[in-house]
Amino acid sequence: MPRLSRYKLSSQHIDELGGRIVDAALLVRDREGLTLFFNDLLTFTEKAMLGKRMLIA
């Protein structure tokens, strides 16, 4: 189960981290590469949670 650190991050820091994820994903040139990127980055549970959130967004 994914958990956040006990150390609170500022909103600015969270935005910067999100930007880094987007920047890294934009460097990937094809679908297979993007799949590998997210498989390396996310756990099974995180992928399921993200997929569910995307369905309702």
pLDDT digits (tens, 9 = 90+) for 19-55: 999 999 999 999 999 999 999 999 999 999 999 999 9
Between CA 12 and CA 15 the distance in angstroms is 5
Angstrom distances, CA of residue 51 to CA of 9, 21, 36, 56: 24, 16, 16, 9
CB contact at 8 A, 47 and 55? no
pLDDT at position 2, please? 62
> For the whole model, what pTM was predicted?
0.70
